[in-house]
Amino acid sequence: MTLLTVEIAAAGYGAVTVLRDVVFEIPEGGRLVVLGANGAGKTTTLRTISGLCRVEGAVRFAGKDVTGMPPHRVAATGIAHVPQGRGTFGDLTVRENLLVGGSGRPGRAAARDAARWLDRFPRLAERSGRPASGLSGGEQQLLAIARAYMAAPQLVLLDEPSLGLAPKITQELFATLDEIGRETGTAMLLVEQNAELALGIAEEAVVIESGTITVRGSAAELRDKDEVRRAYLGV
Ligand code: ATP
């Protein structure tokens, strides 16, 4: 069953149109990666789905038309957004950050899930009572991801989770994302510059250039395409 349908005719900020004819679908539990150079429109694609951009066209999620809905209502339909740069609350403790993520759910369910995420990530558990600002970049990314899953979403939007992380930490992060995806069955829409790792955990992929989709296919197909290998895989 289709979970997300994106049919963006045009989207952008005020008078600036960034995306044109960006069309794709994600099935329930599916994983799609959006590749593209800096400034191609990847972040704008995620922001449009989350209700943060002006849009012409349609975005449908879980049987609902979410086009033009304000971001808090889009989030309430079951879409969680992990923004570029993590967006953790530095003054709140690690545990409080998790509870903010679960604030739309009954308190007991949120407290139980916060404890589960802390069990899962011992480095966060050790620092659960300390401000999030003291975490390393990789730990902040884990916290941002766990905070998103605290909302018990059906779809998680991840904007360049590898940004600013060392290669080894990035590899661990992608292995973790792969595991979480399998365990929870939550669909994933991933924007990423690290094409090699992203294609490794995605099923489908699209390439955005200058605001429009130029290549699409299964992750395996994209790995074999010369143009993708040259531009994004450094081959
Ligand atoms: P990056 O990898 O650098 O994050 P991206 O593919 O995510 O790139 P976007 O952030 O979506 O690209 O930006 C696409 C285009 O939209 C760029 O030309 C950018 O300058 C423009 N843009 C982004 N944010 C705004 C804004 N708030 N107002 C006007 N234009 C914007």
Which atom of ligand 1 sits closest to the CA of residue 45? 11
pLDDT tens by residue, 27-83: 999 999 999 988 999 999 999 999 999 999 999 999 999 999 999 999 999 999 999
Please state the rounded mean pLDDT for residues 216-233: 84
Atom 26, ligand 1: which residue's CA is nearest? 13
Would you list the domain boundaries of the chain? 2-232
Q: How far is the CA of 44 from the centre of ligand 1 (A)?
A: 6
Q: How far is the CA of 46 from the centre of ligand 1 (A)?
A: 11
pLDDT (0 to 100) of residue 232? 74
39, with CB counted inside 10 A (0-12, 13-18, 19+), is exposed
Distance between CA 201 and CA 224 in Å, rounded? 16
pLDDT (0 to 100) of residue 231? 76
Q: What residue type is assigned to position 225 of the chain? A: K
Banded pLDDT at 221 (limits 50, 70, 90): very high
Homologous superfamily in CATH for domain 2-232: P-loop containing nucleotide triphosphate hydrolases (3.40.50.300)
Distance from CA of residue 9 to its chain's centroid? 22
pLDDT (0 to 100) of residue 174? 95
Q: How far is the CA of 109 from the centre of ligand 1 (A)?
A: 37
- CB within 8 Å of 211: residues ≥ 6 apart: 17, 18, 19, 20, 22, 40, 41, 44
Q: In what side-by-side order are the strands of the sheet with 79-82?
A: 79-82, 155-159, 187-191, 31-35, 204-209, 212-218
Residue 224 scores a pLDDT above 90? no
Name the pTM for this structure: 0.94
Distance between CA 29 and CA 43 in Å, rounded? 21
Lining residues, ligand 1, CB within 6 Å: 13, 16, 18, 36, 38-44
| Secondary element (H or E) of residue 24 | strand 16-27
Please state the rounded mean pLDDT for residues 20-27: 98
- The token duo for 192 is 């990423």
- What's the DSSP call for residue 93? B
Q: How much of the chain, in percent, has pLDDT values that exceed 70?
A: 99
Banded pLDDT at 160 (limits 50, 70, 90): very high
- Which of 13, 18, 84, when mutated, tests ligand 1's pocket best, judged by the most ligand atoms within 8 Å of its CB? 18
Distance between CA 17 and CA 100 in Å, rounded? 33
Q: How far is the CA of 38 from the centre of ligand 1 (A)?
A: 8
